[in-house]
């Protein structure tokens, strides 16, 4: 056991050292020669101090991201290899009579352990954002958001685990397919509820206050043939100086949301481009396409997880102190596999997202007929968010849900 723990710990340290070297010593975010002097060149819209701050801030945030995911894997491995998961299960079986309560209690303990282990990195990320004046959130508000996170994720997690153990007990070979079938209505239900139940727990949402701007947006929406009654603003200035807008929800709860920082810091023509971009998502039904893609990918994921989970439970059960796939102590193994596969699938989901974002950019430019507003918007996004215009390759594929700022400006300049 000590050898396995030492090997896993060494692997994690070497992994962290690689990414430290990659970001702080060799990460290539330099501007290509062909871009220098153009509107996509960050030196044309950011002063040297801002450029250095963007580079340093991005390096720290990206480094924290890449060492965060394997930390969960290492934690799940420790719970298994040390037999701690087995001991927690045995203690709960002695303390709690009913199987359902045993599972819920086990999930609660695992959730607390994972939350406690991830908090230090999240706290560092929060303090870094404060230091670079990206975050404006108070410590009390930050803690409140994390408490809300826990009490939203824990019940959902507990329900999923209860269903999993019921299915794998009743349908050992086909549990993964039945689980996926249940995922479809469950995911649709969450997408429907999120804008009206979950999101308001974190921030206040309300219709646009600026009636003159609202009139311009209504005119743009009419041109795009979309209902503008679903456009909202949210008080994100209490938490950040960054800019953003997004489309969320499905059905009657579908809405376009603008951060108030975006409304306060950008000119009307830039806001109209952003609205055109979000309307592009709406018109091209990207939310539904993304949802369908997620469900399809999850079907493949469930199948792979089933094969790996059952094989590893059988081959390494004794070493990991688990009796088989139905053993409650094997839950960390299941979570480990889900986390690894989710991380491995990020390049695929991000590639699809980048394609949709590029299409929405084109739509926004065509709808507004204002290419310059698009370019200015992308420049402002980089300046206020301290974003690198040309991040390193691994950041692009694992974190790049949008094209880089450089690519977005270049694409805007190419639009007719």
Catalytic residue among 62, 361, 376, 410, which?
361
**361 is an active site residue:** yes
Q: Quick one: tokens of 85?
A: 């998961």
Instruction: Tell me the C-alpha to C-alpha distance, in Å, between residue 414 and each of 289, 366, 375, 408, 411.
Output: 26, 12, 11, 10, 5
281 is in an annotated binding site: yes
Q: Quick one: tokens of 249?
A: 């929800």
Q: Are strands 255-259 and 245-248 parallel, antiparallel or unpaired?
A: antiparallel
Instruction: Tell me the C-alpha to C-alpha distance, in Å, between residue 366 and each of 216, 224, 370, 374, 415.
Output: 16, 11, 8, 11, 9
Nearest-CA neighbor of 44 among 361, 370, 373, 389? 389
Which residues 6+ apart lie within 8 Å of 389 measured at CB?
A: 31, 40, 42, 382, 404, 405, 406, 409
Q: Quick one: tokens of 64?
A: 């924290």
277 is in an annotated binding site: yes
Could you give the angle at the alpha carbon of 264 between the alpha carbons of 262 and 267, nearest 5°?
A: 80
Catalytic residue among 278, 306, 327, 410, which?
278
**278 is an active site residue:** yes
CA distance 54 to 51: 5
321 is in an annotated binding site: no
Binding residues, as ranges, are 277, 281, 357
Active site residues: 278, 361
Binding residues for Zn(2+), as ranges, are 277, 281, 357
């Amino acid at each position: 056991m000590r050898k396995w723990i030492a090997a896993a710990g060494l692997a994690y340290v070497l992994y962290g050292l690689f990414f430290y070297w990659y970001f702080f010593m060799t990460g290539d975010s330099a501007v290509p020669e062909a871009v220098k002097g153009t509107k996509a060149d960050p030196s044309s819209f950011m002063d040297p101090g801002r450029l250095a701050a963007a580079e340093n801030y991005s390096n720290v945030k990206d480094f924290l991201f890449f060492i965060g995911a394997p930390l969960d894997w290492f934690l799940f491995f420790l719970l298994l290899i040390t037999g701690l998961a087995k001991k927690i299960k045995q203690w709960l079986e002695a303390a709690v009579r009913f199987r359902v309560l045993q599972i819920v209690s086990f999930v609660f303990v695992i959730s607390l352990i994972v939350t406690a282990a991830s908090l230090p990195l999240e706290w560092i990320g929060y303090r870094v954002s404060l230091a670079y004046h990206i975050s404006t959130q108070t410590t009390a508000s930050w803690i409140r958001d994390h408490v809300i996170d826990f009490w939203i994720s824990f019940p959902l997690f507990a329900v999923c685990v209860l269903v999993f153990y019921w299915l794998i007990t009743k349908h050992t070979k086909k549990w993964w397919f039945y689980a996926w079938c249940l995922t479809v209505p469950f995911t649709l239900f969450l997408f429907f509820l999120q804008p009206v139940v979950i999101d308001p727990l974190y921030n206040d949402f309300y219709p646009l206050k600026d009636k003159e701007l609202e009139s311009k947006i209504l005119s743009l929406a009419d041109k795009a043939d979309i209902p503008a009654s679903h456009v909202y603003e949210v008080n994100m200035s209490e938490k950040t100086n960054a800019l953003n807008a997004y489309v969320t929800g499905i059905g009657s709860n579908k809405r376009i949301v603008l951060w108030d920082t975006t409304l306060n810091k950008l000119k009307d023509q830039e806001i109209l481009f952003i609205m055109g971009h979000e309307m592009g998502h709406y018109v091209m039904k990207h939310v539904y396409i993304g949802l369908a893609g997620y469900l399809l990918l999850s079907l493949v994921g469930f199948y792979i997880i089933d094969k790996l989970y059952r094989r590893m439970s059988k081959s390494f059960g004794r070493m990991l102190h688990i009796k088989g796939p139905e053993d409650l102590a094997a839950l960390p193994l299941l979570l480990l596999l889900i986390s690894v596969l989710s991380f491995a699938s990020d390049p695929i989901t991000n590639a699809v997202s980048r394609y949709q974002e590029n299409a929405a950019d084109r739509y926004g430019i065509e709808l507004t007929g204002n290419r310059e507003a698009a370019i200015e918007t992308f420049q402002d996004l980089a300046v206020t968010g301290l974003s690198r215009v040309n991040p390193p390759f691994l950041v692009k594929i694992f974190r790049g849900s949008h094209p880089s700022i450089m690519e977005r400006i270049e694409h805007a300049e190419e639009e007719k």
